[in-house]
């Protein structure tokens, strides 16, 4: 996952980088590094984003909200 793909994923779900980091189980600092391209997106974060994309929309929304709670 490139920085542009990461940023597109964040935007697709209407999240901030901070919130996307929480949803994807990474630190806030790493999320900002992924977003600005100073650190490659880890495979686990990329796979997590891909797995969330594959969920039906209702389940996906519930999962995102649960992880943000």
> For residue 59, what pLDDT is reported?
96
> For residue 67, what pLDDT is reported?
96
- Asked if 58 and 48 count as a contact pair (C-beta separation under 8 A), the reply is no
pLDDT in tens, 8-61: 999 999 999 999 999 999 999 999 999 999 999 999 999 999 999 999 999 999
> For residue 51, what pLDDT is reported?
97
Alpha helices for the chain (secondary structure H) = 3-12, 17-24, 28-36, 43-54, 57-68
> For residue 34, what pLDDT is reported?
98
pTM of the model: 0.91
> For residue 45, what pLDDT is reported?
98
In a 10 Å sphere around its CB, with 0-12 CB exposed, 13-18 middle and 19+ buried, how is residue 21 labelled?
buried
Domain layout of the chain by residue ranges: 3-68
Q: Which CATH class is domain 3-68?
A: mainly alpha
- Asked if 24 and 48 count as a contact pair (C-beta separation under 8 A), the reply is yes
């Amino acid at each position: 996952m490139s920085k542009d793909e990461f940023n597109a994923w964040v935007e697709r779900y209407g999240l901030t980088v901070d919130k996307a980091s929480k949803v994807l189980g990474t630190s806030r600092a790493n999320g900002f590094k992924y977003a600005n391209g100073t650190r490659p997106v880890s495979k686990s974060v990329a796979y997590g984003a891909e797995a969330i994309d594959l969920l039906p929309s209702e389940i996906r929304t519930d999962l995102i909200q649960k992880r943000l709670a």
